[in-house]
Amino acid sequence: MDTRNSGFDTKLVHAGIPEDPYGSVVTPIYQTSTFAFKNAQEGADRFAGREAGYIYTRIGNPTTNALEQNVAALENGFGATAMSSGMGAVSTVYLALLSSGDHIVSTGSVYGPSRGLMEKHLSRFGVASSYVDTTDLDLVRRSIRPNTRLIYVESPSNPAMHVTDLKAVAELAHAQGALLVVDNTFASPYLQKPLDLGADLVLHSVTKFINGHADIIGGVVIAGTAELHAKIRNMMVNLGCNMDPHQAYLVSRGLKTLSLRVQRSQESAQKVAEWLEAHPKVAWVRYIGLPSHPQHELARRQMTGFGAMIAFELKGGLEAGRTVMDHVHLAGLAVSLGGVETLISHPASMTHAGMAGEDRVAAGISDGLVRLSIGIETLEDILQDLSQAIDHVA
């Protein structure tokens, strides 16, 4: 079905699904490592790119390709490449676009391993990096060097919930001849479309909202142009971090309900954030749907909703946060996010434990920060669970 002029929710259900000879309404799982050629000439033509068609599943597979086309349509991109994990997507972007001698400017409060990979590993290959508060446009401008090739923004950021002005940063990047990459995991394409705001590439940990059911790990990179798409795809094929067809099938299945899930989660998140903000034992709450959030107005302009992620700290700091995490029953005490189940976690000792303490503080990730990913359960049950857990705090 041609969904080019369809609405977002129609694209979610129908975009990229190939016609099936048996009329299957969902994309079947093509569980094969390789695809037979009719003759030697066809094999040669496919390898040379003279003829379209599948060759080998690391290079491309119909089930994975259906998901890729769907996500590209959702992000208004030229094309998408699916990976075995979100970190597969991050590492593919770094390796495809950066060379020795290059410099990258990135959000300080980015997902821990996205920063660790750069600072601990790509630094060995001569790539320099500056991690700054990308909500401060002056700071971004001052951090750009003549050799800056990439500006890498996570917005909203994990877990500090910083919101970066993507349109303004795209202009700064392009004035320097650099590319803007946006990690759109926290928003999902339902709430934010960075390519429409001037970004060159978008990436997701598919593990989160896109799949939404906490049962797979995956990643995807969406490119705005054919040239960038080819660079990303080529690097992924060489690195070998392709998404397998089973994984792609599950993601396609979960993705169809993205709008419904995110709508429900963010309605509840707004209520939970307001409730936490009014709670006498809570020191502060950072939810982008609250007027108290420093970038609330910016988020209103560049997003169509505020999402399901909340950061907060209790007046008793780390100790009090641990008490709450040890006493929740409904909320799962686990890392990851963006699924139908509510999860609670402690970034300083979990997802961001690999960062130096002073970098964490500079990035707005205090030791007492507790992160919530609000699911689609009954709101009263989520509130009741948090309430009884906070009651345990002295």
Compare residues 164 and 207 and give the one whose CB is closer to ligand LCS. Answer: 207
User: Does residue 58 carry a catalytic annotation?
Assistant: yes
Choosing from 27, 129, 148, 185, the residue that interacts with ligand LCS (CB under 6 A) is: 185
70-109 footprint of ligand LCS as x/- string (CB under 6 A): ---------------xxx--x-------------------
Compare residues 86 and 254 and give the one whose CB is closer to ligand LCS. Answer: 86
Does the CA dihedral 190-253-220-143 come out positive or negative? Answer: positive
The 3-state DSSP class for residue 289 equals coil
Give the whole-angstrom CA distance, residue 61 versus residue 82. Answer: 11
Closest distance of CB 157 from ligand LCS, Å: 8
The 3-state DSSP class for residue 368 equals coil
Structure tokens at 31: 């569980």
Indicate the DSSP class of residue 121.
I
Closest distance of CB 205 from ligand LCS, Å: 3
User: Does residue 115 carry a catalytic annotation?
Assistant: no
Closest distance of CB 353 from ligand LCS, Å: 11
Give the whole-angstrom CA distance, residue 84 versus residue 241. Answer: 5
Site for ligand LCS in 324-363 (CB under 6 A): 335-337, 351
Are the CB atoms for 369 and 348 separated by under 8 Å?
yes
Report the residue number whose CB is nearest to ligand LCS. 86
Asked if 205 interacts with ligand LCS (CB under 6 A), we say yes
Beta carbons within 10 angstroms of residue 357's beta carbon: 10
Structure tokens at 312: 């907060």
Choosing from 91, 135, 207, 342, the residue that interacts with ligand LCS (CB under 6 A) is: 207
Within 8 A by CB and 6+ apart from 258, the residues are 12, 188, 189, 190, 209, 210, 212
Of the candidate spans 28-36, 142-150, 166-174, 179-187, the one that interacts with ligand LCS by CB under 6 A turns out to be 179-187
Compare residues 3 and 209 and give the one whose CB is closer to ligand LCS. Answer: 209
* Angle between helix 379-391 and 317-327 (nearest 10): 130
Structure tokens at 157: 């950021």
Closest distance of CB 90 from ligand LCS, Å: 6
Structure tokens at 341: 């189940």
Asked if 244 interacts with ligand LCS (CB under 6 A), we say no
Among 9, 54, 58, 253, the active-site one is 58
Residues with a catalytic annotation lie at 58, 111, 183, 208
- Report the interface residues with ligand LCS, using CB under 6 A: 85-87, 90, 111, 114, 154, 158, 183, 185-186, 205, 207, 217, 219, 335-337, 351
